[in-house]
Amino acid sequence: MYIGFLHLHNTLRWLLLVVLVITLVKYLAGWLGNQSWKKTDNILGVVFTSLMDLQLLVGLALYFFISPITTLALSDFGAAMKDADLRFYAVEHFAMMLIAVVLVHIGRAKAKKAKVDRNKFKTAFIFFAISLVVILAAIPWSRL
C-alpha cells in the first residue's frame, strides 16, 4: 500500500508540475499581452488547484497513516529533529507544501475577485509562480 501511494504521489508531482508550467506560461502571456480572461484560463486554474488539492490529500494520507518514514519521525519527534532526512519529511516538506497549497488557493481566489482581466492574470501568475518556487524547494530530489 505504501509503495502504491508513493508512486501515486510521485506521478501526481510530475503531472502537477507540467500543468503548473503550462498555466504559468499562459497567464504570463495573458498578463503581458493584455489579453482577455477566457473560460480556458479559468479551467487551467481549476485543474491546477484541483491537482494541488489531490496531491495534498495523497500526501496527508502518506504523512499520517501510511509512510514508515513519518511514522518513525512522529514516534520520537525530538530524535527526528536531529536527523536531517527525518526532519525533512516530518517538518520541512510538509510545511513547505502546505504553504504552496495555501498560496495557490489565495492566488486563485484573488484572481477570481479581480475586476480587470490583466489583474486576474497578474495575480494568479505571481501567486502560482511563488508556489512553484516553494514546491521546487520542497521536492525530495534525492529520492527521484
For 73-111, the pLDDT digits (tens) are 999 999 999 999 999 999 999 999 999 999 999 999 999
Say if CB 88 and CB 140 are below 8 A apart: yes
Coil vs helix vs strand at 142: helix
Helix, strand, coil share of the chain (percent; to 5)? 90, 0, 10
Question: Stretch 41-60: mean pLDDT, rounded?
Answer: 98
| 124 within 8 A of 111, measured Cβ to Cβ | yes
Rounded to whole angstroms, how far apart are CA atoms 118 and 8?
A: 36
Q: Which alpha helices (DSSP H) does 33-116 contain, by range? A: 39-61, 68-75, 77-82, 84-87, 93-113
Asked if the model's pLDDT at residue 143 lies above 80, the reply is no
Which one-letter amino acid corresponds to residue 80?
A
Q: Judge whether residue 144 has pLDDT over 70.
A: no
Predicted confidence at residue 30, as pLDDT, reads 98
Residue type present at position 14: W
Can you give the pLDDT at residue 17?
Answer: 98
The arithmetic mean of pLDDT across residues 51-78, rounded, is: 97
The DSSP secondary-structure symbol of 33 reads T
The model's pLDDT over 28-50, given as tens digits with 9 standing for 90+, comes to 999 999 999 999 999 999 999 99
Q: Quote the pTM value.
A: 0.95
- Would you mind telling me the total number of residues written for the chain in this entry? 144
**Three-class DSSP category at 76:** coil
